[in-house]
Structure 1
Amino acid sequence: MHAVAFIMKKSGSNACLLLVGFFVFAAGVRSQLTTDYYKTTCPNLPKIVRKVVQSAIMNETRMAASLLRLHFHDCFVNGCDASILLDGSDGEKYAFPNVNSVRGFEVVDAIKSAVESACNETVSCADILAIAARDSVVLSGGPSWRVSLGRRDGLVANQTGANNNLPSPTDALDTIISKFAAVGLNVTDVVTLSGGHTIGQARCTTFSTRLYNFSGTDAADTTLNSNLASQLEALCPENGDGNVTTSLDQNSTDLFDNHYFKNLLSNKGILFSDQELYSSDAAASTTMSLVESYSNSSYLFFQNFVNSMIKMGNISPLTGSNGEIRTNCRVINS
């Protein structure tokens, strides 16, 4: 079990625990990770990471979503082992779901450099990704949590795994649920972690099939709000630059809140995979009710988001003598 914070108050022989923040439970997940792993070996780690992340987000607010996404895309392939950071043409960063898409590597380099200066060969790149993801959420107005630490870095990347295992913006809901289940995450995690799209940008190429008739059959996606579709067509003309971006949440672009779910109720999910959570036939019996609950309660969304992030961060971590502590996040130690 994990908790954001506890305060112990004693009155005579009685003691009561007052929970401050969110109380969360990473169901069914066990690992050797602990929230105080670097308490003696690198006590200033949280401050070091937070300072670099804060500077990066102040320079570009979109970086918060990019760092959160890096952690997500890392954990879905080989577990949370920082394999996504490895350079090389056969690396995960050059897999189809990641190439020209995942970003923030220079920020991770800056964090690693600052950490190495204070705590040489002590903190893994995988743990840096986990902390940076949490800080990105907090600095965008979202909830905080104590990050479980003690991961070690993987020695190999898995481009094939990235191509096959990462959820795609064009995936149907059943496919997304299956990909989450393959790494031990359930339907609640699907909806909750998708809520990370409350911040960040999407490239035209990731949703253009919703706007234009590329298949030669019926026209554009009818689950896309018509006014939003017109705006997106103006931004992303047919045969235009597919790398042009727009906010995933058109209402509160850089604020971590529950507007993402409110958008789905109005058919304003930018990505097909997002709108599937509410508009697909499969949603009625799986995800629709939770989307509605989150749209009405940011507290519930925040509470479950903390839980799901801790759970995701526990996917197959390397611990003990497995893996290594990379000195450069981009390459394995020589």
Structure 2
Amino acid sequence: MDRGRRRQWGVVCSALLLSALLAVASAQSPSPARAPKPAPSLPAALRAAPRPSSPAVPAPKAPAASPAPKQTPSPSASPVPKPPTPRAPAQAPKPSSPAAPSASPVPKPPAPRAPAQAPKPPSPPSASPPPAAPPLPKPSPPPPAPSAPKPSPVAPAPAQKPSPPTTTPPPQKPSAPPSPTNSSPPTPSLALSPNFYAASCPSVELAVNDVVRSASTLDPSIPGKLLRMVFHDCFVEGCDASVLIQGSGTERTDPANLSLGGFNVIDEAKRLLEAVCPATVSCSDIIVLAARDAVTFTGGPSVPVSLGRRDSLVSLASNVRANIIDTGFSVDAMAASFASKGLSLDDLVTLSGGHTIGSAHCGTFRERFRPDANGSMVPVDGTMNAEYATELMRACAASGSAAVGCDDGSAAAFDNRYFSNLLDGRGLLRTDAVLVQNATTRARVAAFAQSQDSFFSSWAGSFARLTSLGVKTGSAGEVRRLCSSVNG
């Protein structure tokens, strides 16, 4: 009886221990290849098994391993008689490296507590060597690789520290591109600037000034002609030297431009600059500089001008009449023409002051007179000074092509005498005389007549706006080699 009861207890205990070992083995390694290795651990378990005197002890172990009821083979008792297997536990922890529970033997109750304490840093002696190897491959795939070698015992902590630096650089990189786009707005080389030729042709202003001074000394009418030229050029398709091009159907052939002069001065300045700075300075810039120097030569203010214009490729006579100011215009008509160019009524009065130098042919102001019953010429406008009217008729009696100074008594000096003459009824052209017949423009005329400084100060701004009309820069237009023709 004792021998049979011992055999039954042996079978029961071996079955229970085998089922527990199989459950632990399945939890330790999912791979089927490693499952048979826990079998040698049976003797160690058998030593602990005889302690319970009743089957109540294995009962709590059974729910911990759910697969126990499935595996109840009785042949598992065969490995019981093998005594030499107690050395197997030393080999068991090696294959169980992927999980912390493998370090503790199966039957011992503290084994389930080992995995809970394994991830914690305070238990490095037993669990630190095995887990140190598995966490290392985990941080290697993500970008923060440099931080992995520093902490070996605790892998998850360094993996979180390098992550913020990887996220912070991206916001700094996109912030960089806006700055260059913002720093380099529209190409600065295309903008007009007083220093446009500072590097390419630093002597441009000196060269033009010398040519203008020389020509004006020989011919006192040159300053007035150069100043008139810049008006006729800039008002028709912008300041692009289109008025200089010769040929059939060009702006130069329109009747309004037949009386223009000073072309030889522009050509001479261009020849000089081509010798010093070939294919660099545009003809349109030379016109602006020559007009500025003409004012300075006759006593007017020397104003800074911006440069960098390019010359037009087209010049059409059909563009002249639609843009030029006719001598028969009223204040409203002139104001509308100026407004279409972006110029104000104040610009109109100020730039009309350019008539303080220069002269006009008798045919230009003939419409201001009519014959009377006796065949004599009388002024159409009753506001014209009678003495001045007589002087004009006397000057034009001999020849209709005679020239009369636009500013009576001061046609060779750039000053405010022009405005004083307007208030006195001595305006030569009708466009001059009507400025005192409008309340707004008359007030400005009176202010300039009282203060030459006020006129000079206003001239600087209005001249800058005039010479900025419709300029061509960059790839628009060209720099002509000869101002009278486009490049072939």
Task: Give the TM bin, normalised by the shorter chain.
Answer: 0.7 to 0.9
CA distance in 2, matches of 1:243, 1:181: 33
Structure showing greater radius of gyration is: 2
Residue in structure 2 matched with residue 315 of structure 1 by the alignment:
469
Structure 2 distance, partners of 1:219, 1:44, is: 50
Change (3 A) 1:306 1:35: same
Distance 2:290 2:200 in 1: 19
Q: Offset at 1:63?
A: 0.3
Q: What is the distance in 1 between the residues matched to 2:441 and 2:428?
A: 17
TM-score, scaled relative to structure 2: 0.59
Partner of 1:84: 243
Structure 1 runs (4+) deviating above 3 angstroms are: none
Question: In structure 2, the residue corresponding to 1:209 is in which secondary structure?
Answer: helix
Structure-2 separation of matches of 1:236 and 1:221: 18
CA deviation string 1:196-230 (max 9, x = no partner) = 0000001101111212249xxx9622121100100
Q: CA deviation at 1:242?
A: 2.5
Where is the helix percentage greater, Structure 1 or Structure 2?
Answer: 2
**Cα distance in 1 between the residues matched to 2:245 and 2:215:** 21
Structure 2: distance between partners of 1:303 and 1:309 = 10
Matches within 5 A, 1:297-316: 297-316=451-470
Structure 1 length-normalised TM = 0.86
Q: Does 1:123 align with 2:277?
A: no
Task: Tell me which of 339, 346, 360 is aligned to 1:202.
Answer: 360
Matched, 1:140 2:298: yes
For residue 90 of structure 1, report the CA deviation from its aligned partner: 0.8
Partner of residue 8, structure 1: none
Q: Which residue of 2 aligns with 1:259?
A: 417
Show structure 1 runs of 5+ residues with no match. Answer: 1-30
Contact 1:210 / 1:224 at 8 angstroms: preserved in 2?
no
Name which of 167, 174, 189 aligns with 2:325. Answer: 167
- CA shift in 2, pair 1:213/1:175, >3 Å: farther
The 1-side partners of 2:400 and 2:479 are apart by: 38
- Taking the aligned partners of 2:431 and 2:298, their CA distance within structure 1 comes to 23
Which residue number in structure 1 is paired with residue 198 of structure 2? 39
2:250 aligned partner, one-letter code:
G
Q: 2:230 aligns with which of 63, 71, 81?
A: 71
Partner of 2:254: 95
Would you say 1:180 and 2:334 are equivalent positions? no
Structure 2 residue aligned with 1:15: none
Secondary structure in structure 2 of the residue aligned to 1:40: coil
Asked whether 1:55 is paired with 2:250, we answer: no
* CA contact 1:170–1:206 (8 Å) conserved in 2: no
CA contact under 8 A between 2:215 and 2:265: conserved in structure 1?
yes
Contact 2:223 2:291 in 1 (8 A): yes
Task: Give structure 2 stretches of 5+ with no counterpart.
Answer: 1-189, 373-377
The CA deviation at 1:89 is 2.2
Instruction: Report the number of matched residues.
Output: 295
Q: Which residue of 1 aligns with 2:431?
A: 273
Structure 1 contact 96–163 (Cα < 8 Å) conserved? no
Q: Which residue of 1 aligns with 2:38?
A: none
Q: Within the alignment, does 1:113 sit opposite 2:267 as a pair?
A: no
Identity of aligned residues (%): 40
Letter of the structure 2 residue corresponding to residue 92 of structure 1: E
Q: Which amino acid aligns with 2:467?
A: G
Q: Which letter maps to 2:211?
A: V
Cα offset for 1:170?
1.6
Q: Using the alignment, how far apart are the partners of 1:206 and 1:316 within structure 2?
A: 28
Q: Does 1:230 align with 2:384?
A: no
Match of 2:481 in 1: 327
Task: Return the alpha-carbon distance in structure 1 between the equivalents of residues 399 and 244 of structure 2.
Answer: 27
2: distance between equivalents of 1:251 and 1:83? 34
Larger strand share, 1 or 2: 1
Distance 1:211 1:221 in 2: 8
2:379, 2:389 within 8 Å by CA — same for their partners in 1? no
**2: CA distance between counterparts of 1:176 and 1:104?**
25
Note if 1:151 corresponds to 2:309. yes
Q: Name the aligned partner's letter for residue 254 of structure 2.
A: A
Question: Which residue does 2:52 correspond to in 1?
Answer: none
CA 1:60–1:291 in 2, change beyond 3 Å: closer, same or farther? same
Label 1:231 to 1:296 Cα distance change in 2 as closer, same or farther (>3 A).
Answer: same
Residue of structure 2 in register with 1:190 after alignment: 348
Instruction: Give the distance between the partners of 2:476 and 2:304, measured in 1 at CA.
Output: 24
* CA–CA separation in structure 2 for the residues paired with 1:91 and 1:305: 30
Amino acid at match of 2:456: F
Residue by residue over 1:70-127, the C-alpha shift from the partner in whole angstroms, topping out at 9 and shown as x without a partner, is 111100011000000000121111112111x111111111010011111000000000
AA partner of residue 294 (structure 1): F
Which secondary structure state, in structure 1, belongs to the residue aligned with residue 320 of structure 2?
helix
Helix, strand or coil at the partner of 2:404: strand
> Whole-Å Cα distance in 2 between the matches of residues 176 and 87 of structure 1?
28
The whole-number CA distance in structure 2 between the counterparts of 1:199 and 1:226 is: 23
Distance 2:432 2:465 in 1: 21
Q: Are the aligned partners of 2:230 and 2:291 in contact in 1 as well (CA < 8 Å)? A: yes
Match in the other structure for 2:402: 244
Superimposed CA distance per residue, residues 34-92 of structure 1 (whole angstroms, 9 cap, x where no aligned partner): 01000010001111001000001001111001011111110001100000000012111
Match of 2:186 in 1: none
